[in-house]
Amino acid sequence: MSIWAIGDLQGCYDVTQRLLEKIRFDPARDQLWFCGDLVNRGGQSLETLRLVHSLRAQSVVVLGNHDLSLLAVGARSEEEQRKVNPDLQRVVLAQDRDVLLDWLRKQKLVHVDRTLGWMMLHAGLAPKWTVPLAERYAREVEQQLHGDNYRRLLRNMYGDKPHWSTGLAGYDRWRAIINVFTRMRYCTPRGRLAIEEKGAPGTQAQGLYPWYEVPGRAERELKIACGHWSTLGLMLGHGVHMLDTGAVWGGKLSALQLDSEDLRLVQVPGREVPAGGKHD
């Protein structure tokens, strides 16, 4: 048995298939951890979502910002859905859209496996969040997302503020939690997100730190697998394993074996794209 964490797919179905072939994925014995952002920009989001859904018994998925955006689009009127980009439009107008979107909506923000010694999320953790706190905050949002009023959450999740504070309540609180788990790259030592900062470390404004390097951050007993930060690329350090290596931008798609002592890394080339694409 092998357990593989895989970086952002972003609708790159052909690339995903090549990676599964290269790691010799066997659904009878192996497990896949997907770090979020299954969809958008790659042109094959419907095929990618169908593939991961077909592997749901062998997979763990955490939600990324693009996955949540797809769910929000899926909850709008058909007239509004026809205004989104063609890649997401193919998903929300597909015959099996309800099956796919209902399944996606019921995925997690954080996955923890203490026996294995790993946790997975899409983007980052606030500096003071321990593993138990992260689990608790994730469950708050998941309870709303999995419940009957999920459409209201999806309508109210957009916005860069407020910044996280334990005193927040309701949609402000859930929006702040979502932003940490699915959009975080840089923050201040007090945990104020700088969502507009998207470049590699060294390009950020003074006083900001990559979330995994904030001075005085909480100790976390588990290793972390995540994605989201394509301009950073592969980063293995500080107990954090960042796996978004920009497959959708012409980089690579990466898989990291979590149950291997030497953390075996396998990569395949990403999709072919014109030069000068914008990372996000």
Query: How far is 204 from 227, CA to CA, in rounded Å?
Result: 19
Mean pLDDT on 121-133:
97
pLDDT tens column, 26-66: 999 999 999 999 999 999 999 999 999 999 999 999 999 99
DSSP strand E in the chain: where? 3-6, 31-34, 59-61, 110-113, 118-121, 186-187, 209-210, 223-226, 235-237, 240-242, 252-257, 265-269
Structural domains present in the chain: 3-269 (3.60.21.10)
Q: Which residues of 79-101 are buried (b: 16+ CB within 10 A; e: fewer)?
A: eebeebeebbbbbbebeebeebb
pLDDT at 99 over 70: yes
Q: Which residue has the tokens 């798609």?
A: 253
Can you tell me the distance from the alpha carbon of 16 to that of 46, in angstroms, rounded to the nearest whole number?
A: 13
Q: What pLDDT is recorded for position 278? A: 57
